[in-house]
Amino acid sequence: MALYDTLGRTYSATRRADPQVAAQIGQALADCSSVVNIGAGTGSYEPAQTIAAIEPSQIMIDQRPAGAAPVIRAEAEHVPLHNNCTDAALAVLTVHHWADLAAGIAEMRRIARYRLVVLTWDADAMGEKFWLLSEYLPEARAADAALAVPVDRLMSLLADPDITPVPVPHNCADGFAASFWRRPDAYLDPRVQAGMSLFTKAGPSMVSVGLARLAADLQSGRWQREHAGLMELTQLDLGYRLITARA
């Protein structure tokens, strides 16, 4: 919670739901008439059938829009809801911040009658494919890998899990770590950095040299020459994964 009382201050501006990602999450929940959103933040990606949101940070709760689902201030590991109270439990880019992953997943399974849906990322896949980490911020890559939940571990806690890639569109409206893979200037924006746990966990001293190199390469045109192929792509698989499972 303390992290998001700092990291979450700009979420309503920098972490808006991307329509393409939201559609993929929505399809996974299409046949569920009720959803509880765990680690809900400001409410991004909550489908219309969300009946409750669980969020520990008051800073995040205060940024939820009017008309959003009712929110309960609580941790993922201790959800104050009855057993089998919802068709599905949803967790979007949040499991890496839980203090006890197994306890949080157990709570999702306890409250959901039918399905669990988790959006996360594969740190190995991201680190190999994402130029910002592999070329400019190796220290942040290490911090990101340490923060990430191994996909195999997550799937081991789920019943009959199914995993699907979630490609990142070139104009992604959300501001998660790899959103700006075709818009490198954005990573030099302090407001964008403030909304990413990638930068918060790594710390400014670990990333300042790499970002200075990126700025120089953008000014000289080196980045544009070396990554010209990216400009022809409309989406890119950078390791984000949607996992669905039986409750």
pLDDT of residue 13: 60
pLDDT of residue 2: 45
pLDDT of residue 10: 56
pLDDT of residue 164: 97
Would you tell me which CATH number, out of the four given (3.40.50.150, 3.40.630.30, 3.90.870.30, 3.40.50.300), belongs to the domain 2-246? Answer: 3.40.50.150
pLDDT of residue 6: 47
Please give the structure tokens belonging to residue 199: 């930068």
Angle at 139 (CA atoms; ends 134, 145), nearest 5 degrees: 75
Q: How far apart are CA 188 and CA 120, in angstroms?
A: 24
pLDDT of residue 64: 93
The candidate with the shortest Cα–Cα distance to 116, out of 92, 142, 80, 140, is: 92
pLDDT of residue 195: 82
pLDDT of residue 146: 86
Q: What are phi and psi of 159, to 5 degrees?
A: -95, 120
Angle subtended by helix axes 204-220 and 138-147, to nearest 10: 130
Ranges of the chain whose pLDDT falls below 70: 1-14, 201-203
* pTM, 2 dp: 0.91
In three-state secondary structure terms, 25 is helix
Q: How far apart are CA 244 and CA 117, in angstroms?
A: 5
pLDDT of residue 200: 72
Question: C-alpha distances in angstroms, 214 versus 68, 70, 135?
Answer: 39, 42, 9
Q: What is the pLDDT of residues 110-156, one digit of tens each?
A: 999 999 999 999 998 897 899 999 999 988 888 888 889 999 999 99
Q: Would residue 144 be called left, alpha or beta, if left means φ above 0 and alpha means ψ between -120 and 50 degrees? A: alpha
Q: Would residue 78 be called left, alpha or beta, if left means φ above 0 and alpha means ψ between -120 and 50 degrees? A: beta
Q: How far apart are CA 226 and CA 233, in angstroms?
A: 15
Largest CA distance in the chain: 59
In three-state secondary structure terms, 19 is helix
In three-state secondary structure terms, 165 is strand
Q: What are phi and psi of 57, to 5 degrees?
A: -95, 120
pLDDT of residue 193: 87
Residue at token pair 């700006």: 180
